[in-house]
Each structure stands twice: as structure tokens, then as C-alpha cells.
Amino acid sequence: MLRGVAAQSSYSISETQRKRLVKQRLFIVYGVLLVCGLVILSRLMELQILRGAEYHELAQAQHFGGVVLPAKRGEILSRNSKSGETSILATNTTLDLVYVDPLITDDPAFVAEQLADVLVTEDSHALCSGGDDNCPRELMSFYSFAFDPLERLPLSGTGLVLEPVPGELPMVKAEEIIDVTEVRRLFARNIEKRISEKRVTFVPLLYGADKVQMNLVRDLGIQGVYAEEDVQLVFANPEEVDQDKVSGTARKLADVLEIDPDVLRRMLRSRPLRYVPVMRRLPPLLSSKIREIQQASARETQELRKQAPTTEAAQRVTDPLWSIALIPEHWRFYPVRMLWVS
């Protein structure tokens, strides 16, 4: 009888301990879940409430980009008081800007060659070779001999150290220095290099910065922010800027550069490169040619998709020129002086 009571008491004690252990373990599990929930909740509050606007802005920058286009201005007219005739002193014209989106460019070399073949024409080659002001600005660097008289000296000199500088520099024929095929090749390589970049690595923060501002920027010692005295420019490389401290960096620079901190924060944010201008003020004929090669490329892409063996294979076929786009821009035009300004 005593043995039965002892066994029952022992059984009761072990059962009580077991239940107590189960409760303790449940409390531990509940505590861990509560802590995890609080961590997740605090993180959500940070992402959605405290830094929601900042992350929304960052997400927008990953998918969208902005381009500042010159506004269309009114015409300036002149009226002859005697005859009553009206003449136009200043008007507007709309010309296209061609640009490339590097983020969706699969073959930069092919895109660059297609654009160079269209944009470098025999007419532009003749204008640039003669140093004409109507030469596209994007091509002037390849014809520096025509626009920089000092580069003609080595071509006309004899090599003597004390050789006198001629009063009138000789005219140099473009064919003797560079031909249109070479210009197209150089321009294509230039475009390819620029559209091969996938991230924004250069952002001008302030043009015309004075010495005081540039010295203050250097004293701050912010990684990724630079000051160039030669061109009086303060610029940044967002890929080198600490993205976890962008807001603080923007506040430090705001007082020095006299720019709104929110504007600086957006400029310093790391983001994909979505816009690389190739050439502005395209003549209508060149704009039409670019549209033609885009349409031809789209037709070829459709044919390749139809010939694909499977739906998945067809979806992998992309148009190599779909990253090229044209944007109309308004430019000021002075009919009398034949002068273009933005």
C-alpha cells in the first residue's frame, strides 16, 4: 500500500515538472517570437514611416529619369514704321536630341556603330574639316586641327627650335589628316564607352565655384566629392559616396554650396544611368534615318521571334536598337544672323 502511494506521488511530481517545463519552453518561444515581431515592426516603421519618402525617391530613381528640355519661347518681331512690313528677328525651331538608355542596351558596340554611321555624314565632315561653326559640337573634338590654329603649326613647321611663327597659318586639307571613315570609327568608340557605363559616375554639383567654396569642399574630405580649380567645378561620383550617410553629406555640402539639402541628396544618390545624350540639334533628315533603322531593326526582331522554336526562346529575342530614343527640343533661331542658341 505504501509503495503504491509513493509511486503515485512520484508520478504526480514528474507530471507537474513536465508541465512546468512545457510552460517554460512555451514562454521562451513566445518571447523569441515577440522579439522577432518587434524587430520586424521597428524595421517596417523605419522603412515605411521614418525613411519612407527617402526610399520611395530611391526606388523612383531606379526606374525613372528626368531630362531638362529647353522651353519654347515667343517670337521677336520687328515692324517697319514706313512700309508696315513685319520681319522676324528671333523665332523657334524644333530639332531632335538622340540619346541612349544604357540600362537596356545589350550590345553597346552595335548601337554605337549604327548611330555613328548615321550621324557622321559627308556634309558634316566637310563642315567640320573647314572649321565651320555649323559643325556639330559632338564632332568638334575629332577635328581639333580645324578649330585650333596651334595644331596646324607642327604640320607646317620644319622642326627648328627657333623657327618663327608664320603670320598666316596654311590651310590644311582634311583628307591629309583624317577621313570620314576614321571619324565614324572614333565617334562610335566614344559612344560605346559612354553607353557601356551602367551607373551614374559623374554629377556636377556647382559650376563657377569660387576658391573659398572649393577649399571648404576639400576640407570636408567627403569621399566621392571633388573640386576642380581649373574649371571651377564641384562634382561628385555617387558610386564612391557612402550611401548610408547621404543625408548627412548633403547637409554638410548644403551650407558650402548654397544648395538645398534635398536637392543635393537626390544628386548624390547612387542610381542607374538611364540617359546618355549622343547628339543634339539633329537635322530632320538624320532624325528620319534613325527612325528608319529603328523600324528595320524592329521588323527583323519580329521575324526572329516568329522563327524561335519555343515561346521562351522568342521572349529572349530583343531589339538591339530599342534603347535609342529621340526627344524634340526647342531652340532659338535668329534668321538674320543665322545664329543658334539654346
For residue 75, the SS3 value is coil
CA distance 172 to 141: 16
Q: In sequence order, what E strands does 47-85 have?
A: 76-79
Q: Which residue, 143, 149, 153, is CA-closest to 174?
A: 143
CA distance 249 to 254: 9
Q: Are 188 and 116 in contact (CB under 8 A)?
A: yes
For residue 233, the SS3 value is strand
Residue pointed to by grid coordinates 538645398: 260
Q: Are 78 and 86 in contact (CB under 8 A)?
A: yes
Digit-by-digit pLDDT tens for the chain (342 residues) are 445 555 555 545 577 788 888 888 888 999 999 999 999 998 888 878 887 777 777 676 666 666 666 677 777 777 877 887 877 777 778 889 999 999 899 999 999 999 999 999 999 999 998 888 889 999 998 988 787 666 555 544 444 444 555 555 555 554 456 889 999 999 999 999 999 998 889 999 999 999 999 999 999 999 999 999 888 999 999 999 998 899 899 999 999 999 999 889 889 988 888 889 999 999 999 999 999 999 999 999 999 999 999 989 998 999 999 999 999 988 877 775 444 444
Number of other residues whose CB lies within 10 A of the CB of residue 43: 10
Q: How many residues does the chain have?
A: 342
